[in-house]
Chain A
Amino acid sequence: MDKTIRTNGKAKPGFVRLNINGKYIDAREGQTILQAAQDSNIYIPSLCYLEGVHQFGGCRMCMVEVEGQKTLVASCMVKVKDGMTVKTNTAKVRQARKINCELLLSDHPQDCLSCERSGQCELQTLARTLGITSLRFQGEMSPGSRDISPAITRDTSKCIQCRRCVSVCNQVQGIGVLNAQNRGFSTVIGPALGQSISEVDCTNCGQCVAACPVNALSETNGIQKVWDAINDPYIRTVVQVAPAVRVAIGEEFGLPPGEAVTGKLATALKEMMFDDIFDTNFAADLTIMEEGSEFLERAGAALKSGKAVLPLITSCSPGWIKYLEHHYPDKIANLSSCKSPHMMMGAVIKSYYANKLGMDPKKIFVVSVMPCTAKKFEIDRPEMENDGLRNVDAVITTRELARMIREAGIDFENLQPSDFDQPLGISTGAADIFGVTGGVMEAALRTVYELVTGRELPLSELKAVPDSERTLTKRAEVTFENCLPSYAFMEGFTAKVAVTSGFQGAKALLDEIGRGAGDYHFIEVMGCPGGCVTGGGQPRTAVQNAWASRAQGLYNVDQAKKLRKSHTNPAVQKLYSEFLLEPLSQKSHELLHTAYTKRGVYNELLKKGAD
C-alpha cells in the first residue's frame, strides 16, 4: 500500500485527505463522501442518488458517521473536507439504515416473488444487503394506482418517492411531466391533477423508466403477446432487432457494455422459435435512401426556386416526434415524412416479403426489439398501417427480450454466433451508427455526398465519443463540388447540418432556428441523451460511461464492415429494382412515408381536430 496515504499528511493540490473507516484516502475537492468512498471501493448503500443527475438526500440510506457531527449525515449530500473522519459501518450507522429501509418496506407491497423487477430491484438488493430478514413495521399502506399507457406503466403503490424520475424528466429531458403531487402520506409522483401519462405531453422516451430503482415505472409489458404469436402455428412470427440492442443486451447476461453480440442475438432469436430473424439495420439503410433523396429533393427545390421547407429534420425517434408535435407543432412540415426504420421494415415485410413467400400478410406477425419505449406508442399511431394491416404488431424492449431469453432457458453467453436471415438481414455500417447521436446524419451524408459527387464523404466531426460530448449539439458544413452531371444543381452548395440528442438540446436548436439564427439545411434529433444506445428500453446499468462504451461498440461494428454506405446494400438495391422502383416512388410513399399530428402542450390542438 502507498505509504504516503497511510499517514495524515497533506494531499496534493485540488485534493483533500480524509479518513474513512481508519483508511486515509485522497478525494477530489468538491466530491461528496459517497463519491469519494465509491472511488476507493468502499461501499455505501444508496437509493435516491443518481450519479450526475440527482442529489436529493431523501432516502437516508447512505447515512454515515462523521466525527464531530452530532447526528448521522447523508453521505450523498455532504462534501469531503480535509481531515474529516468518516465511519461507514458502525453499529449506529447500520441500525439507522436498516430502520430507514424497513420503514420504506412498510409502505411497499411485498409481492417480490411475482414482481417484474425481482432480481433487478434496487430496493430488494438493499434489503438483502442490510440484512433485513423480518418486517417489523406494519401500518397503513398507500393505496396506489396503476396508469397504463401503450408505452409506460406506472404503479404508484411500488413508488418509494426517490424522485429520480422527477429529476430525469425535468432536469435532464426538460419535459416535466412527472412531479410530486399532494403532500405527506398522500404524495404521489405523477402528472398534474391525477392525469394519465397518455393524456399529457409525455414523449414516452422512458428515461424515467430507466432511472426507476423499483417497479413503479416500467415499459408496458409486451412479452405475452409475442410468446402467443410464436406459439401460434398458423402465424409466421418475424422479428427485427434495432442497431443499439446488439451493443447492450450482453449486459443483461454479465458481458461488458459495448460488446457487440449480434451473432449470439441472432442465434438466441432462432432458439426462441421466431420464424424469420431480420435486422432493422436493413431498414435503416432503406431510410437513408428515402431520407437522403428527400433532402436532395428539398435542397434542389430551394436552390432552383428558393421554395422549400428547410431544415429537413430526421424522424427516426418517436419520442422526438411526439415532443415536436406537442411543443413545436408549427415545425411539422420540417420533419422528414419517412417512417422510422422499424416501421418501414414492417411495411416491407408485409408487402414485398409476403409476396416473396406467397403468403397472406394477415398471417404475419412483426415483432420489433427496440432500445426504446416510445416505439411501443409509435406502432399504435393510427397512420402506421397499410391495406388495413398494422405495420408492426408488437414492440419489446432490450430488457424484455433479455427476460424472454431467460424464460426460454437459453444460455446466452455460450451461444454460437449466427447470421440474420435473408434478404432483410443484410446491412451496411451506415445502419449500425443509427443507434448513436450523429449517426443518422453521418449515414445520410455518406450516401448523399457520394450520389452527388461520386466521391466518399470527407467528414468525421459528427462522432460523439468521449462521454463529455454525449449530448453536445454538433454542427458541420459539407460543400458539394465537382458534382456529377445529374446533380449539377448542387454545385457549390454548402449544406449546414446539426445534430443533437435529448430534448433540452433539441429545444435549444429549434429555438435557435425560431430566432432565425441557425440557417441549417438538415438536422438530426434523437430523443434520448446520446441516442438510442441509452434509450429508455436499454438495460439499466450501474457502469459509469456505459453510454460511451455502447457508442464505441457501434462505431466498431461500422468500421469492421466491408459495406459502409447505405446505397451499396445489395438487398436494398434489389428491393428497389424488384418492387419499389426508386426512392420517393409512389410505392415508397405508400409504404415508407407518413404524416404527423399537431398536438399542443396540453393536447389542445388534438381536441380541436377531433371535434
Chain B
Amino acid sequence: MSEDTKQAKVVIDAAAEEKEKLDAIKKVIETYRDKPGCLIAVLHLAQEIYGCLPLHVQQAIAQGMGETLSHVSGVVSFYSYFSTLPRAQHAIKICMGTACYVRGGKRIVERLEEELGISVGESTPDGKFSIAITRCLGACGLAPVLMIDEDVHQQVNPDKVEKILSKY
C-alpha cells in the first residue's frame, strides 16, 4: 500500500468508527427516549460509547431526547464524571488524602505538571496523559501514592516521576 492509500484508509476507518459510535448512541436514545428522567443514564452510556460528550454528541442527545441543548449541557457540566474532551490514554490520579498530603503529595503534583507541561484537570496535547487529584486511595501505609490507570505506584518522590512516566 502506498502512503497516500494508507492515509485514505485511516480516514475512512475513522469515519466508519464515528458513524458506528453515533449509531450506537442513537440506539441508546431510542431505548430511553420515552422514559422520563433517563437523561443521565443516556449520558453515561453515550460517554461509554464515544469516550466523551462533545457538542455534536450533546446535540444528538438533546434532539433525540426532546430536551434543549442548554439543559443537556447543564447536566453534563454539572457532574465532574462527564467530560466534553476526549480522555487521555493514561489517567494519572494523585492521592491528596491526609497521609499522602503530609508526605509530599503536593510536590509530586508540581513535578508532574512540570514534566508534562499541563495543569491538574488537563490532558497532554498528544492525548497520552491526564492529571487528576483524588481523595484517599486507602493505601496510606504506602504514602505518597499515585495511580496510573489501574497501577498503584507507592512511596513516590518527585525524582521518581520521570522514571515512572517512561514506563507508559
Contact = CB atoms under 8 A, between A and B. Distances in A.
A192 B78 contact: no
A191 B70 contact: yes
Given A193-B55, A602-B59, A182 B70 contact: no
Given A177-B68, A177-B70, A183-B78, A192 B58 contact: yes
Contacts of B59: 602
Contact of B78 (A170, A178, A182, A193): A182
Interface residues of B, number: 15
Interface in A134-184: 170, 175-183
A192 B63 contact: no
Contacts of B121: none
A176 B74 contact: no
Contacts of B79: 183
Contacts of A484: none
Interface string B49-78: 000000100110001000011111110011
A181 B68 contact: no
A601 B63 contact: yes
Contact of B77 (A170, A175, A176, A181): A181
A179 B74 contact: yes
A354 interface: no
A601 B68 CA distance: 10
B77 A183 contact: yes
Nearest to B53: A193
A204 to B, nearest CB: 16
Nearest to B69: A192
B119 interface: no
Contacts of A602: 59, 69
- Interface SS, B side: helix
B40 to A, nearest CB: 14
A191 B74 CA distance: 9
A176 B78 contact: no
B127 to A, nearest CB: 20
Interface string B131-164: 0000000000000000000000000000000000
Interface residues of A, number: 17
Contacts of B69: 176, 191-192, 200, 601-602
B39 to A, nearest CB: 13
Nearest to A166: B70
Nearest to B63: A601
Interface string B30-54: 0000000000000000000000000
B58 A181 contact: no
B68 A170 contact: yes
Contacts of A176: 68-71
Interface-centre pick from A181, A183, A193 (highest chain B CB count, 10 A): A193
Contacts of B63: 601
Interface-centre pick from B55, B77, B78, B84 (highest chain A CB count, 10 A): B77
A190 B77 CA distance: 12
B61 to A, nearest CB: 11
B53 to A, nearest CB: 10
B155 to A, nearest CB: 34
Given A193-B55, A193-B84, A178 B70 contact: yes
Contact of A179 (B55, B58, B70): B70
Interface string A183-210: 1000000111100000010000000000
Given A193-B55, A193-B58, A601-B63, A179 B78 contact: no
Contacts of A191: 69-70, 73
A94 B41 CA distance: 44
B55 A180 contact: no
Contacts of B72: 192
A545 to B, nearest CB: 30
A181 B75 CA distance: 8
B161 to A, nearest CB: 30
Contacts of A179: 68, 70-71, 73-74
Contacts of A181: 70, 73-74, 77
B121 to A, nearest CB: 12
Interface string A568-601: 0000000000000000000000000000000001
B153 to A, nearest CB: 31
Contacts of B73: 179, 181, 191-193
Contacts of B77: 181-183, 193
Contacts of B74: 179-181, 192
Nearest to B54: A193
A182 B63 CA distance: 21
A179 B58 CA distance: 15
Interface string A26-47: 0000000000000000000000
A156 to B, nearest CB: 14
Contacts of B78: 180, 182-183
A187 to B, nearest CB: 9
Given A181-B73, A200-B69, 19 more contacts: A170-B71, A176-B68, A176-B71, A177-B68, A179-B68, A179-B70, A179-B71, A180-B74, A181-B70, A181-B77, A182-B78, A183-B79, A191-B73, A192-B58, A192-B69, A192-B72, A601-B63, A602-B59, A602-B69
Interface of A: 170, 175-183, 190-193, 200, 601-602
Interface of B: 55, 58-59, 63, 68-74, 77-79, 84
Q: Please name the 10 residue pairs, one residue from A and one from B, whose CB atoms are nearest each other, closest first.
A: A176-B68, A192-B73, A179-B70, A179-B74, A192-B69, A192-B70, A182-B77, A183-B78, A181-B77, A193-B73
5 contacts: A180-B74, A191-B69, A192-B58, A192-B70, A192-B72
